[in-house]
Amino acid sequence: MQAEKLWQFPIKEFHRMPRGLLGPGAYEMVGVEAKKLGFKRSLLATSGLRGTDIVEDIQGKVKYQGIDVVLYDKIESNPKDYNCMELADLYVKEKCDSFISVGGGSVTDATKGARIVVAHDGRNVNEFDGFNKSENPDNPPHIAINTTAGTGSETSWAYVITDTTSDKAPYKWLGFDDNCPVTLGINDPVLFFSMPQDLTAFCGFDVLAHASEPYVSRLDFLPSLGNALKVIELVGQDLRRTVFEPLNYEARYNMMFASYMAAQSFNSGGLGIIHAMSHAISAYYDTHHGLNNAIALTRVWEYNMPTNYKRFRDIARALGENVDGLTDVSAAERALEAAIRLSRDVGVPANFCSTPDYTKSRMGVGKYAEWGGNKIVGDDRDVDRITKHLLGDGSTPGNAREVTYDAVAPVVAHALTGSYY
Rounded Cα distance between 399 and 407, Å, is: 13
Per residue, what are the HEC states of 150-172?
CCCCCCCCEEEEEECCCCCCCEE
Task: Let me know if domain 19-192 sits in CATH 2.20.25.90.
Answer: no
Task: Give the mean pLDDT of 27-44.
Answer: 98
Confidence of residue 49 (pLDDT cuts 50, 70, 90): confident
The mean pLDDT of the chain is: 96
Percent residues over pLDDT 90 in the chain: 95
DSSP code, position 395: T
307 and 332 Cβ atoms separated by less than 8 Å = no
Residues making up the chain, counted from first to last: 421
Task: State residue 145's pLDDT score.
Answer: 98
Per-residue pLDDT band for 10 (boundaries 50, 70, 90) equals: confident
Domain extent listing, the chain: 19-192, 204-244+272-417
Least confident range from 47-56, 283-292, 352-361: namely 47-56
Q: How confident is the model at residue 1 (pLDDT cuts 50, 70, 90)?
A: very low
- In angstroms, rounded to a whole number, what is the distance separating the alpha carbons of residues 124 and 278? 24
Q: What is the pLDDT of residues 176-231, one digit of tens each?
A: 999 999 999 999 999 999 899 999 999 999 999 999 999 999 999 999 999 999 99
Q: In the sheet where 184-187 sits, what is the strand order?
A: 19-22, 184-187, 142-146, 98-103, 41-46, 68-72
Q: Is 410 exposed, middle or buried (0-12, 13-18, 19+ CB in 10 A)?
A: middle
- Cα distance between residue 2 and residue 11, in whole Å: 16
**Over residues 113-132, mean pLDDT:** 97
Cα–Cα distance for residue pair 170/276, rounded to 1 Å = 15
208/234 Cα distance (integer angstroms): 9
Question: Which is it for the CA torsion 68, 74, 78, 82, positive or negative?
Answer: negative
Backbone phi, psi, residue 301, to 5°: -55, -45
Element (H, E) at 45: strand 41-46
- Give me the percent of the chain exceeding a pLDDT of 70: 98
pLDDT in the model for residue 7: 60
| Interval 320-341: pLDDT, tens | 999 999 999 999 999 999 999 9
Which of 211, 169, 371 shows the shortest CA–CA distance to 286? 371
- Are 19-192 and 204-244+272-417 in the same CATH fold? no
The beta-strand segments (E) located in 47-126 are 68-72, 98-103
Q: Among 1.20.1090.10, 3.40.50.300, 3.40.50.880, 1.10.10.10, name the CATH number for the domain at 204-244+272-417.
A: 1.20.1090.10
Query: In the predicted model, is pLDDT for residue 3 greater than 90?
Result: no
Rg (C-alpha) for the chain, rounded Å, is 20
Which residue, 124, 142, 399, is CA-closest to 277?
399
Whether 125 and 117 have beta carbons less than 8 Å apart is answered as yes
Q: Which pLDDT value is given to residue 228?
A: 98
